[in-house]
A and B are shown apart, each in its own frame.
Chain A
Amino acid sequence: MSKLGTRTFTLLQTVTSVGLSALAWAVTGVRPIWNGSQPSNRQRIYFANHASHGDFILLSACLSEKQRARTHAVAAADYWGKSRLRRFIAQDMLSSVLIHRQWTDEAQNPISIMLSVLDEGHSLIIFPEGTRNMTDQPLLPFRSGLYNLSMARPGVELIPCWIENMSRVLPKGQFVPVPLLCRVVFGAPIAIAPGEERRAFLDRARQTLLALNPRPPTHDAEKWNPVFRKTSCDQNSIEPKERRAQRAGDRAGSGIRHDAPIHDAPRHDVPRDD
């Protein structure tokens, strides 16, 4: 953990950060959607869904240069610390905070490491699923870190961030990104309610994040039908074929589909000439 305590951006980190943000824009045209929170210099923990190495780059690209210099992604030491090259990329270029997912030594306690970064006044980007989500579920259950951090530092805002499409741009195991449009939806901050249980809070945080998805991942043709949106967020990962067939039958009579709620909200009344 030699990098702790030296949290001003080096030249390499500044160049990397500007370069990657420009690249993220060129490939994905990334746009932040502030839906419940606003850009701010307040100390924050951004928590997001995770399916790709590009996730944190996309999220950082939505922050201002000033915020970016004070915001660090939390990454797994057992992956990013594996070789000198990975460690160089993670720490010296991306200035991320490496934590051990399996730890025994108290010096490796992930919560203390993250708290020490917060105590320097910096913000964090964390992926509470704990790993890249490779399942058909939109979001895995959350690990406890989010709860522990917020209990220890209740003054830090927790901002849910839904990262769209990045799993298609750069899936796990691929290194060349496909250019697709991406958005990052920043939701309203959440906090632990008085007396709220760990599991209850984590589930609520997860639901809050899921609710930000502007295009819920049901069968394409059905995804605008609110009847089906509920089921899409459920835990049942793989839907039986019969049920999907039944849904396809249902939707024939389902009438008008709805526009993307967040995507188009400010422009609903704008005339179109298409």
Chain B
Amino acid sequence: MPMHETLIMVVGLATVLTTASLVAGILSWRAPKPLSSTLVNLNQRINAWWVMVVAITVAFFFGRAGMTILFALISFAALREFVTLTHSRRSDHWVLLGMFGIIIPFQYWLVWTAWYGLFTIFIPVYCFLLMPAITALHGDAERFLERVSAQQWAVMISVYCVSHVPALLTLDVPGFEGRNLLLVAFLIITVQGSDVLQYIFGKLFGRHLMSPKVSPSKTWEGLVGGLATSSLLGALLSFLTPFSPLQAAAVAFIACLMGFLGGLVASAIKRDQGVKDWGHLIEGHGGMMDRADSLVFAAPIFFHTVRYFWT
């Protein structure tokens, strides 16, 4: 593990979070009581961030095993939220069990063993063909296409896409050996940072709603401000990566743009299903998918960008 960069990162994150906690503390202290729901939520969010950063840092120190297990658990939580929202029938029981009991463990085993060929096609080829076959064998055609599509998308989003984050550890970037964990950190920090920056810019300057029918909080000002600053953040973090500062900014821009689209798609799904949050796992944020939606879209594109241009 590259200790020097890791140390800088941990200290940097701790500083940012401490500052956030202090600012929120002062705001809460000066605000009239009882606190407004925005402030209560802000405090909850910051506290949850502490927990998430500590969890990821611990997994980080366990290296590839830690990351693989952490993201397998994230897939489990995300898939559970996704499947809960979709329609299923009694005859789907075995397919649903297979999604949790076979697809998640096998996909992460492929990550662990760095079997790239099967990793990329296991879900989109084998699972996508076999899952509807099993459903059809059960002989229940009621709302068949709807059930099958929802199951496939649930696996695509919560397992396939998420597994591309730990899969970054399997890439052989020349001259970057043994430092792949830093790529994971770069992706998570820029994409999640972009979420936070879009939130802040949206709160401070947001005027023009981007898609009021899908999300009530996404504004053009938030998007532009968030993307610009997170690209800058990417450039500043280029010392973690094999990229030059300019390349790092470009890669961060692409990842964060995908992250934004992921959030938009997740919002559309939630709106369609008539819920506000995916779940309640993370206090103040909602469910796992509420936090991971941007990472889900960013990870595969980031993975393939690095794989195509740098290996």
Contact = CB atoms under 8 A, between A and B. Distances in A.
Majority secondary structure of chain B interface residues (helix, strand, loop or mixed) = helix
A165 B84 contact: yes
Interface in B67-89: 76, 80-81, 83-84, 86-88
Given A29-B281, A174-B93, A179-B76, A258 B37 contact: no
Interface residues of A, number: 31
Nearest to A164: B84
A29 B288 CA distance: 12
Interface residues of B, number: 43
Given A176-B97, A273-B198, A274-B270, A259 B80 contact: no
A174 B95 CA distance: 13
A29 B77 CA distance: 10
B201 to A, nearest CB: 11
Contacts of B263: 274
Which 10 residue pairs of A and B lie closest in terms of their CB atoms, listed nearest first?
A224-B274, A273-B199, A181-B84, A178-B96, A180-B84, A264-B276, A171-B90, A270-B41, A257-B274, A179-B80
A5 interface: no
Contacts, number: 84
Interface string A172-196: 0010101111000000000000000
Interface string A227-267: 00000000000000000000000000000011110011001
Contact of B41 (A174, A224, A271): A271
A258 B275 CA distance: 8
B216 interface: yes
A174 B96 CA distance: 13
A124 B46 CA distance: 42
Interface in B247-289: 263, 266-267, 270-277, 279-281, 286
A166 B117 CA distance: 38
A274 B217 contact: yes
A272 B277 CA distance: 9
6 contacts: A178-B96, A179-B76, A270-B41, A272-B216, A274-B266, A274-B286
Majority secondary structure of chain A interface residues (helix, strand, loop or mixed) = loop
Residue among A29, A179, A224, A258 with max Cβ neighbours from chain B (10 Å): A179
B290 A274 contact: yes
A221 interface: yes
A220 B100 contact: no
B135 interface: no
B293 interface: yes
A229 to B, nearest CB: 12
B21 interface: no
A70 interface: no
A31 interface: yes
Residue among A176, A259, A263, A272 with max Cβ neighbours from chain B (10 Å): A272
B221 interface: no
B215 interface: yes
B226 to A, nearest CB: 10
A168 B215 CA distance: 30
B311 interface: no
A197 interface: no
Residue among A29, A165, A264 with max Cβ neighbours from chain B (10 Å): A29
B80 A274 contact: no
B113 interface: no
Contacts of B276: 259-260, 263-264, 267-268, 272
A221 B143 CA distance: 13
B202 interface: yes
